[in-house]
Copies of this chain bind each other. A is one copy, B any other.
Amino acid sequence: MVNNNIVVLNQERSGKRASCQLCPRKASCPAFDQAGNDSGLERIQQRTVRAGEEIFAAGTDFAGVYVVRSGFFKSSLMDSEGLLQVTGFHFPGELFGLDGIDGGRYGNSVQALDTGSLCRIPLEFFMGRDEAVAASRSRALMALVRLMSRAVARDNGFIFALARLNARQRFAAFLLDVAERMGNSGYDRNHLQLCMSRTEIANYLGLAVETVSRLFTQFQGEGLLDVQRRDLRIPSLEALQGIVRGTDEAAARLVKVG
């Protein structure tokens, strides 16, 4: 996965002041003020990360929300018994770390799946007692609220998928979700470079690795997918939608509403 030509600077740990004017994600970033007011921007830390690097661990003190500039990330959650669950993937332009705002510590661990770049926006960026920039802060907060709303809506969809869809449908829904978000990030919706392993997909979807693997070959056989390791071609997004819609099988009978 070296699709993105990132200038990797040799100052990984410390980070640097964010260069928002040049940022490709400024349109969706809660820190970038359309009105041009850049007060507080010096609080924001930008840094680059390598594949496998952990951004923060679950349970560590909240230090701000993160915006993905480039690269791909995954959130995972581990219960007290060591049971692991991938709770989400994060694409360029998206946020993570939102669950830590309220409790003061992050609920998930986040890891880079790839070389990437991100910004950390501390909560203080949105607060403070300076009356002069209160309006600017309100705008930033409102942008944050919108992004969080999107996260909530996305979670609801995912909950629906886990509760009501069978393995085949879940897998199709997953592919559609990735395709759409890759599209939003400027990639080709019909030609994906998966940034995660089969195991991670399985874990995310609440399935066994073997099941996911079988689904890949099954979809391949049905012409729904052209798989080459992590390189995917999707001939028809509509066909996948048909599978999720479940003209498929028993799932449709679950809870019909007259």
Whether A245 contacts B149 by the Cβ 8 Å rule is no
Q: How far is A108 from B126 in the complex, measured between Cα atoms in Å? A: 29
Q: How far is A236 from B99 in the complex, measured between Cα atoms in Å? A: 29
Which residue from B100, B134, B252 sits with its C-beta under 8 Å from A135? Answer: B134
Question: How many A residues touch B, CB cutoff 8 Å?
Answer: 60
Binary CB contact string for chain A from 245 to 258 against chain B (1 if under 8 A, 0 otherwise): 11000011011110
Binding-face segment, A6-14, A79-87, A176-184, A211-219: A79-87
Min CB–CB distance A75 → chain B (angstroms): 8
Min CB–CB distance A207 → chain B (angstroms): 9
With both beta carbons as reference points, the residue of chain B lying nearest to A101 in the complex is identified as B149
Min CB–CB distance A121 → chain B (angstroms): 12
Whether A251 contacts B83 by the Cβ 8 Å rule is yes
Which residue from B79, B99, B150, B158 sits with its C-beta under 8 Å from A245? Answer: B79
Q: How far is A151 from B107 in the complex, measured between Cα atoms in Å? A: 12
Q: How many copies does the complex hold?
A: 2
Which residue from B77, B100, B142, B160 sits with its C-beta under 8 Å from A79? Answer: B160
Which residues of chain B have C-beta atoms less than 8 A from A98's C-beta? 148-149, 152
Within 8 A of B (CB), among A135-149: 135, 137-138, 141-142, 144-149
Q: How far is A245 from B159 in the complex, measured between Cα atoms in Å? A: 21
With both beta carbons as reference points, the residue of chain B lying nearest to A205 in the complex is identified as B163
Whether B146 contacts A83 by the Cβ 8 Å rule is no
* Chain A residues in the interface with B (C-beta under 8 A): 75, 77-85, 87, 98-103, 107-108, 126-127, 129, 131, 134-135, 137-138, 141-142, 144-153, 155-160, 162-164, 203-206, 245-246, 251-252, 254-257
Other A-B pairs beyond A99-B149, A103-B150, A148-B149, 9, CB < 8 Å: A81-B246, A83-B252, A100-B153, A102-B149, A108-B156, A138-B141, A141-B145, A163-B203, A163-B205
Q: Which 8 residue pairs spanning A and B have beta carbons closest together?
A: A163-B206, A134-B134, A101-B149, A102-B149, A99-B153, A141-B141, A155-B155, A162-B162
